[in-house]
Amino acid sequence: MTDTAIPAVHASEPNAEGYREFTIGGFHFRRDEFFAHVTWPTGTHVMSIDGFLRALQRDVAWDFFYGTVNFDGVFGTVNHYGTVDMFAGRYNDSYRKAELDHFENFPTPEIRATFEAMLDDWTINGFDPFASPAETAKPFGVKTGSNTAAVTRRRVTASRMVGVPGDEAIRTDATHPINRMFADVPQDEPDVDAEPGFEDEVCAFNLFAYLSRSDVTWNPSVVSQCKASLYCPTTEEYILPIIHGNDRVEWFVQMSDQIIWDVQDRDTGAVRAKVTMKAGDVAAMPGDIRHQGYSPKRSMLLVWENASPELPELIRSGKTSVYPVDF
Binding residues for Fe ion, per CB under 5 A? Answer: 244, 246, 250
Q: Shortest approach of Fe ion to residue 181 CB, angstroms?
A: 23
User: Are the C-beta atoms of 185 and 213 separated by less than 8 Å?
Assistant: no
Rank residues 70 and 147 by Cβ distance to Fe ion and give the closer one.
70
> Strand, helix or coil at 146?
coil
Rank residues 162 and 289 by Cβ distance to Fe ion and give the closer one.
289
Q: What residues contact residue 149 under an 8 Å CB cut-off, 6+ apart?
A: none
> Strand, helix or coil at 233?
strand
Q: Shortest approach of Fe ion to residue 260 CB, angstroms?
A: 15
Rank residues 31 and 244 by Cβ distance to Fe ion and give the closer one.
244
Give backbone dihedrals phi and psi of 74, rounded to 5 degrees, phi first. -120, -55
Instruction: Using CB positions, name the residue nearest to Fe ion.
Output: 244
**How far is it, in rounded angstroms, from Cα 131 to Cα 94?**
33
Rank residues 172 and 229 by Cβ distance to Fe ion and give the closer one.
229
Q: Shortest approach of Fe ion to residue 248 CB, angstroms?
A: 9
Please give the C-alpha separations between residue 183 and each of 160, 180, 186, 193, 216, in angstroms, as whole numbers.
28, 6, 8, 29, 16
Q: Shortest approach of Fe ion to residue 290 CB, angstroms?
A: 8
Rank residues 54 and 244 by Cβ distance to Fe ion and give the closer one.
244
Nearest to 55 by CA among 219, 295, 184, 206: 219
For the sheet with 9-11, list strands across it: 2-4, 9-11, 22-24, 27-31, 35-40, 43-48
Q: Burial-class residue 46 by CB neighbours within 10 Å (0-12, 13-18, 19+).
A: middle
Bridge partners, residue 312, by sequence: none
> Strand, helix or coil at 53?
helix
Q: Shortest approach of Fe ion to residue 50 CB, angstroms?
A: 22
Rank residues 237 and 250 by Cβ distance to Fe ion and give the closer one.
250
Q: Shortest approach of Fe ion to residue 245 CB, angstroms?
A: 8
Rank residues 124 and 315 by Cβ distance to Fe ion and give the closer one.
315
Q: Burial-class residue 315 by CB neighbours within 10 Å (0-12, 13-18, 19+).
A: buried
Q: Shortest approach of Fe ion to residue 252 CB, angstroms?
A: 8
